[in-house]
Amino acid sequence: MRAKRYFRAVLLLSVALIVLPCLGLAETKEDADRLLKEAKSLQKGAVYEENLERAFQKYEEALGIFKQLGDLHAMASVYNMQGNAYRTRDDLQKAVDYYGKALETAQQVGDVRRLDQTL
């Protein structure tokens, strides 16, 4: 009986390890946090446009994970960081657009601290 349950658990784990990445569901909050850290680092050292582009890519990846997780607080934070990155690039219209997304998302969850930072 135990061997049968063990075999079933191993089989389910194996299937999960194959299927979840294919569906894009294997990413975690830790993955998104790591991407944010990398994006912030790239943005700070954005001497070259290429670094800023890589930062934008990492912000988008992190945002996708936070959307899957339904983490509105983190989504508002990423939108705010994206606004900062566009401001660094002197693309003020896009910066305002992303600050607006940050504000809207923060309002959905009543994140007063985020509202204050965005304004």
Domain 27-118: which topology? Answer: 1.25.40
- Predicted TM-score of the model (pTM): 0.62
Alpha-carbon torsion angle 104, 110, 116, 119, nearest 10:
20
pLDDT digits (tens, 9 = 90+) for 11-55: 343 444 444 444 454 468 788 878 777 777 766 655 556 778 888
Domain ranges of the chain: 27-118
pLDDT attached to residue 12: 40
Gap between the Cα atoms of 76 and 104, Å rounded: 8
Q: What is the 3-state secondary structure (H, E, C) of 94-116?
A: HHHHHHHHHHHHHHHHCCHHHHH
Q: What distance lies between CA 116 and its chain's CA centroid?
A: 21
pLDDT digits (tens, 9 = 90+) for 101-117: 999 999 998 876 655 55
What's the rounded Cα separation, in Å, for the pair 35 and 59? 7
Q: In whole angstroms, how far apart are CA 49 and each of 14, 27, 39, 88, 90? A: 42, 28, 13, 10, 12
- Chain segment 49-85, per-residue pLDDT in tens: 677 888 889 999 999 999 999 999 999 999 999 998 8
Is residue 93's pLDDT more than 60? yes
